[in-house]
Amino acid sequence: MSLVAKKAPHFSVGAVINGEEIIENFSLEQYIGKNHVILFFYPKDFTFVCPTEIHAFQEKLAEFEKRNTVVIGCSTDTEETHLAWLNTSKDNGGIQGVTFPILADASKTISLNYGVLGGEYIYNSDTKTWSFKGDPIAFRGTFLIDKEGIVRHESINDFPLGRNIDEYLRLLDAQLHVEKYGEVCPANWEEGQDAMKATHEGVSEYLSKH
């Protein structure tokens, strides 16, 4: 079930911040009323596509910060594994130099609540045991959460499919434009282009110009 237009699920978990410090009880609540948030999930530390995405988010971090937006990564690995990966150089497949928070969803509850866990728990009533069908790691889910804690965008990619980070900047610009001007953003809209009023007249006016 989609989370769009709903309250983002709460969490309070261990995380690594500033690329070097493990903390407990990292929460989304600290940003409510202050920042927009891009929360992205990735499958595993020490893998292949994942570091390319994480470095790509880091390279664009200043652009997100200019828009008063916090970037947060999350996988089902532990804080200690995150820290080890953060201490591994880029040349060796690591993510050294990454500074945004990375959450440790070892219990898999955040991934489950956001609908990105790559499988499901199944209960066998005959044997009274639980098993897991699928992959107990996160798909490449990405969520744009506004200052009020409401999810405004979500996308979920399968494991082999890397993200386009510029698209999340475009979506963030669109969300900020909607909030500021009350206009809606048409197909392929980018910052600086015409938006339109959400009326029949507004659509007609926009289409007549384009």
The catalytic residue positions are 50
Residue written as tokens 């069908």?
Answer: 133
d(CA 176, CA 163): 21
> What's the half-sphere exposure (Cβ side, CA atoms, 13 Å) at 1?
5
d(CA 154, CA 2): 8
- 138 in Cβ contact with 118 (< 8 Å): yes
Torsion sign (Cα): 198, 6, 64, 68: positive
* Three-state secondary structure call for residue 204: helix
CA distances (Å), origin 203, targets 32, 52, 60: 33, 39, 33
**Burial (CB count within 10 angstroms: exposed 0-12, middle 13-18, buried 19+), residue 92:** exposed
